[in-house]
Amino acid sequence: MGTGIRPYLEDRHRVVGVQRRGRGRSGDGPGYSFQREAEDVAAVFDSLGAPVALVGHSFGADCSLEASLLTTSLSRLILYEPAFGSSVDETILGRVDAHVAAGELEQATETYLRDAAQLSPREIELLRSAPTWNERVRAAHTLTREDRAAAAYVLIPGRFTEMTVPTLLLLGSESPPGFRERIETVDAVLPNSTIRILEGQGHAASVIAPDLLAAEILAFAEA
């Protein structure tokens, strides 16, 4: 979800950030599996010893949704614009991979954000100015594998019939139509979900409007 939103949450709650495989201080492995990503998320929250509100954004929301089937530690689930089932442009991802192979991690990150994630110049500039930019750049090698994993993930309704944890589905009013379609798909699958619209926002509210996003999270988590 990013560290920009953290100050708005940690005054009232303990906040535990998950640095997924290949990111931050987390190690990586010789192979890659979406299922392992979900298992990692579930393991972290099971280790905390108390019910938690799990928040996931984009591919992190995919991991969080799948992790919800692997743990009994959740009190709330909050998903901001999952990325599953999205189409991938291998021409774009190939360019990103080529930059990574050449050691051009910043170019890889910028290419991905601009051409694959379709963030606006303003959104990208805000990300560049954030203290986490260098960490984001160091994790450039994870970008295309996560895009491909999200595209391959199929949401099977029958798997979620017993997942009754209260779930908040967040959608930016300015986000591309694909995000709305995915949010509505998840809403139809989960027994106990509700949709909230982030007015005036797209896929990067955690950077552009962290206070707005945090307010939605807190209101739901504390209800």
Reported as a single tens digit per residue, the pLDDT across 32-90 is 889 988 999 999 889 988 899 999 999 999 999 999 999 989 999 999 999 998 889 99
Extract the tokens encoding 92: 């774009």
**Of all residues in the chain, what percent carry a pLDDT higher than 70?**
99
**pLDDT for position 82:** 96
Nearest by Cα to 172 from 219, 143, 206, 221: 206
Instruction: Give yes or no for residue 3 having a pLDDT over 70.
Output: no
What confidence category does residue 19 fall into, taking pLDDT thresholds of 50, 70 and 90? confident
Name the average pLDDT for the chain: 92
Q: Sketch out the chain's domains with CATH numbers.
A: 1-84+153-223 (3.40.50.1820), 86-152 (no CATH)
**pLDDT for position 179:** 93
**pLDDT for position 2:** 60
Question: Could you give the 3-state DSSP secondary structure of residue 55?
Answer: strand
Mean pLDDT within 110-134: 91
Nearest by Cα to 66 from 33, 38, 34: 38
- Residue position matching structure tokens 């601009």: 114
Neighbour tally for 12: CB within 10 Å: 11
Instruction: Give yes or no for residue 93 having a pLDDT over 90.
Output: yes
What confidence category does residue 1 fall into, taking pLDDT thresholds of 50, 70 and 90? low
Question: Could you give the 3-state DSSP secondary structure of residue 77?
Answer: strand
Q: Would you say the C-alpha torsion 196, 202, 204, 206 has a positive or negative sign?
A: negative
